[in-house]
Amino acid sequence: MSEFTENPFASSHSLDTNPFDDPSSKQVPQHDARFEDISRREQDLERRERELNQRAEHIRTHGRNNWPPFYPLIYHAISEEIPEASRPLITRLYQLWLVLLGTLILNMVACISLLIAGSSDGGKDLGGSIGYMFIIAPLSFLLWYRPIYNGYMKEQALYYYFYFFFGGFHLLFSVYMIIGIPSTGSAGLIQTIQMYAQGHWAAGILGTIATVGWTVQGLGNAFYYRQIWNHHSAAGHTMDKAKAELASHGAKAYFTRG
């Protein structure tokens, strides 16, 4: 019945709506969103362009070299150069090298505390610790970390034997530093125990931290040394292969990545 009472001439639009309004004005929020999206894309492109320019400038100045960051001398990129299956191992070795670097610094600080605490050999310990920091840090990178990095990258026997020789020496050096014989530049166990016994708690705590650092990096390197030995044996690397690589490539076999 209600169908017959409805006004057929009634407008279905609200009287509050202005029929002369510009319909495009209702789409302003949508246009704002598009403008923001375009602006965001432009900023992203500008950022990428800056990064590319910086990278190009870096390559122009240093070539591909990217390490160390403050003065690039070599190219170091685990994610690009190391096979995927071996990346975790090389990453852990690099982290252990960083722990070694931090331990050398802590050991020097601990030796300073030994000198302040009145240790009779404090001067010798401090001098030794400074020497270790400037000698062991670069040599450890070049003589055992870099060879095994190249070894996993190129699977050449010569690199593995470099690593086994100098990496083994580093393990012995770590044991030596953990012991902490007075006047040797190590704030290891013996020195730390003496500091606690004499009531020099600050020196004892610093010595403890340094000893823990030597122990952590030493045990970590020993663990991966065994893993690398097993990999080397399974890959069939022999001394004869290493000699052949040395004879055919000479120094190039060590200093190049090709």
Question: Does 131 score more than 90 pLDDT?
Answer: yes
Question: Does 257 score more than 70 pLDDT?
Answer: no
For 68-108, what is each residue's pLDDT tens digit?
A: 988 998 999 999 999 999 999 999 999 999 999 999 999 99
User: Higher-confidence residue: 242 or 148?
Assistant: 148
Question: Does 258 score more than 50 pLDDT?
Answer: no
User: Which residues are CB-neighbours of 76 under 8 A, at least 6 positions away?
Assistant: 66, 67, 149
- State percent of the chain over pLDDT 90: 64
Query: What is the distance between the alpha carbons of residues 81 and 175, in angstroms, rounded to a whole number?
Result: 32
User: Which residues are CB-neighbours of 39 under 8 A, at least 6 positions away?
Assistant: none
Question: Does 9 score more than 60 pLDDT?
Answer: no
Range with lowest mean pLDDT among 8-12, 151-155, 163-167, 194-198: 8-12
For residue 25, give Cα distances in angstroms to 20, 21, 29, 30, 232: 12, 8, 9, 10, 73
- Predicted structure pTM score: 0.76
Rg of the chain in Å (alpha carbons): 33
For 53-63, what is each residue's pLDDT tens digit?
A: 665 564 555 46
